[in-house]
Amino acid sequence: MKTRDKIIQASLELFNEHGERTITTNHIAAHLDISPGNLYYHFRNKEDIIRCIFDQYEQHLLNGFKPYVGQKVDLELLMGYFDAMFYTMWQFRFMYANLADILARDEALKARYLKAQQSVLEQSIGVLKQLKQDGIFNIPDDRVSDLADTIKMIIGFWISYKLTQSSIATINKGSLYEGLLRVLMIFKAYATPDSLPTFDRLEQHFQELAA
């Protein structure tokens, strides 16, 4: 792995474990046993590193929530979407925990974030419309966009909610699965009778993971 890639990976790990606000470029350099000058050869500052991490975040968002094409709707397909939600939240949890502060410091990153979120919203609307067409959901057409936006809101702020509603200082995987179960609860409210058993199985699967 090239030094630049090592810096990005180490930064992501340190941000997730200790919080982005507490980690400096000196911490990252010391963690990698390289000089600060070596780090600054590749990145101007910490914000520059965060932008590169955001590149990875963007790709996960765009690849994880694409409308399905030529696939049968089954448990594995739906589980794939929920797994993508979990992976993105876990892999980039430092961003969700400190999102407002990170975006407030970098207007260019905020513009990128808003563009990425709009793309995810449009893709999610497309997925929900397909699921309705395939008999998985029973939801009025004029509520699909609101449902997609509500799910995006829960995912985007679940980590902040958990951190502010309890004495925990860090997020664990169980906490994220609790968030997915809340999303499932909302989806089940719109599930057709034929699809309810599938959602029951999904719920059982993620309950076991949350435990």
Q: What is the mean pLDDT of the chain?
A: 94
The structure tokens 């979407």 sit at: 81
Q: How far apart are the first and last CA of the chain?
A: 36
* Predicted structure pTM score: 0.89
Task: Tell me the pLDDT band of 177, cut-offs 50, 70 and 90.
Answer: very high
Per-residue pLDDT of 75-133, as tens digits, reads: 999 999 999 999 999 999 999 999 999 999 999 999 999 999 999 999 999 999 999 99
Contact 137, 186 (CB under 8 A): no
- Provide the β-strand partners of residue 137: 191
Burial per residue of 52-82, b for 16 or more beta-carbon CB atoms within 10 angstroms, e otherwise: bbbeebbeebeebbeebeeeebeeebbeebb
Contact 157, 104 (CB under 8 A): no
Nearest to 176 by CA among 96, 102, 114, 109: 96
Per-residue pLDDT of 16-25, as tens digits, reads: 999 999 999 9
Q: Which residue has the higher pLDDT, 61 or 56?
A: 56
